Amino acid sequence: MEVLRDIPVDLALAKLLKQMRLRENSSYIEKIAGELLDIARPIARPKAVYKVGYIENKNEDSLDIAGVRFKSRLLRVNLDKVARVFPYIATCGTELEELAIPDGDFMRSYCLDVIKETALRSAISYLEGHLKRSYALGQVSRMNPGSLPSWPITQQKELFSLFGNVEELIGVKLTESYLMIPVKSVSGIFFPTEVKFESCQLCSREVCAERRAPYNPDLAKKYRPDIK
């Protein structure tokens, strides 16, 4: 198991304003964004923890990773020819999560939310690059519990169990409803693959700010028995 803490994050004003996807910018919005960035840059500490896990006991709709049983037909199908995977948890960090915004200040809240999302994406991207460099991996894909019904969010509990005290390691706490705090955190499994896979390819929801790949109806049809 390894914890990644010194993760660079680009918090440039122009980039932030673009990611906010506003119809038009104004000096007021730029002022708010600039003030928040001045606070966020010195304290932003995105983090990630991962471990190497080996797959055993593959059944029709389940498998074991590092001795922990995961139940998902889709996960089982995607890892059919894979022996080694990389479970992970990444977060924007408690430092940004603890920044206080006055109640009712929706623009500052939204701006801070985008800053946290930028930090989280930096953590995921850095982790992916680290895995490729450290383990001589080519193309990798990732799956996240809760992104599709076939790998339910309740499996967060099993994934977190692989790491012990995650809150102590990187500050992420799993709630009784299987959500994570800080909210801008993500858990999942990276795995080597010849064909790039994203859960988004099987999701037909049109409006989604987190979409990483377009919906692929042909691929969804192929996987249909596995994603119901």
pLDDT at position 216: 63
Of 33-37, 137-141, 200-204, the least confident: 200-204
Asked whether the predicted pLDDT for residue 57 surpasses 90, the reply is yes
Greater pLDDT, 226 or 183? 183
Q: Which CATH number describes the domain made up of 46-99+120-227? A: 3.40.109.40
192 upstream amide cis, omega within 30 of 0: no
Nearest to 67 by CA among 163, 149, 165, 166: 163
pLDDT at position 175: 96
pTM: predicted TM-score of the whole model, two decimal places = 0.84
Confidence of residue 224 (pLDDT cuts 50, 70, 90): low
Are 186 and 89 in contact by the 8 Å Cβ rule? The answer is: yes
pLDDT at position 154: 96
DSSP assignment of 54-122: EEE---SSEEEETTEEEE-HHHHHHTTT--EEEEEEEES-HHHHT----TT-HHHHHHHHHHHHHHHHH
Domain ranges in the chain? 46-99+120-227
Q: How far apart are CA 191 and CA 135, in angstroms?
A: 11
Asked whether the predicted pLDDT for residue 112 surpasses 90, the reply is yes
